[in-house]
Amino acid sequence: MVCDPQDDQRDVVAWLRSSEVEYGVGHSLGDLAGTQSRTRPKQRLDVRERQGVRRRRGVSEAIRVQQEAVRRMDLDGGVGQVCISLGAQHDAPKTSGAGDRLSAADVFAALSEIRPANAVLVEEAPSNHAELHEAWPITEPDTFYTFASGGLGWDLPASVGIALAERETGRNRPVVAIIGDGSFQYSVQSIWSAAQLQLPMLIVIMRNRQYTILKSFAELEQTPGVPSLDLPGMDFVSIAHGYGCDAARIEDLGALKQAAANAWTNDVPTVLEVSVSGQVPPLV
């Protein structure tokens, strides 16, 4: 169901103020189960959409859809869960891992299969963010870290600091850093610190050979063909070896699982350069 009424935004604001519904976009009923209302108890509404609200129309579209959903709940007796889809959903491509380059979804699913139960995830792969959280949902506190407001270059050194803190505090949770090949360029020297500190962490470089997220923005702004966004000819394995890390180039899922599983037995970081599809995903 897609709702796109031509309500004035002031009408939407007025409806929100008077609504007897707790609403959240992208949350399940379970996420809202513990919510405490400052007023009288409200009816809970679950509005889900896999890839988020279509940003061309803004947050007001989500509000309008919820408004329509509440009206339908009233018509149906106000009971149950309402699931709404906004616009087209962009499913990630799937590959078998043989022949074609791997999709990001395949890579994340494989890593999720073999990861230790208490692993800490650090992520800076903005063009593959949605696929990562589809395969690796965050279900425990203090197990996920990422950059804020697009500040590229934070996560790689942050993952080193987190791995060091895990050892120093005695918690010793394994740390997995998922880094785009563009993001990796900002603070590559931090892997030298990790090697010198002998931190057995896993660093996975998503090698799509371009600044994919910037190409996505360029398409959104209808300015395709922006120069200097391609990243050919980089050898991340040699770079990692030069900084004292263990490293391998990965092109199939079996090798990925084996190399990732072996990372926890090393006494230096393991850097895996994983060749993935260069498909540019739409932002909306």
pTM above threshold 0.75: no
Give the pLDDT of residue 97: 38
pLDDT band, very low/low/confident/very high, at 132 (cuts 50, 70, 90): very high
28 pLDDT more than 80: no
Find the largest Cα–Cα distance for the chain: 66
Top pLDDT among 69 and 53 is at 69
Alpha helices (H) in 137-251, listed in sequence order: 155-169, 190-196, 212-220, 236-242
Among 8-17, 90-99, 118-127, which is the least confidently predicted range?
A: 90-99
Q: How far is CA 3 from the centre of its chain?
A: 27
pLDDT value at 245 more than 90:
yes
Q: Tell me, what's the pLDDT at 27?
A: 38
Residue 88 is predicted with a pLDDT of 33
The rounded distance, in Å, linking the Cα atoms of 256 and 106 is 10
Q: What is the mean pLDDT of residues 214-228?
A: 87
Domains and CATH numbers, the chain: 9-75 (no CATH), 104-275 (3.40.50.970)
Choice between 98 and 159, residue whose per-residue pLDDT is larger: 159
Distance CA 184, CA 49 (A): 31
| pLDDT above 80 for 32 | no
The pLDDT score that the predictor gives to residue 36 is: 37
Contact 207, 159 (CB under 8 A): no
Q: Is it the case that residue 265 has pLDDT exceeding 80?
A: yes
**What digits encode the pLDDT tens for the residues 195-219?**
999 999 999 999 999 888 888 888 8
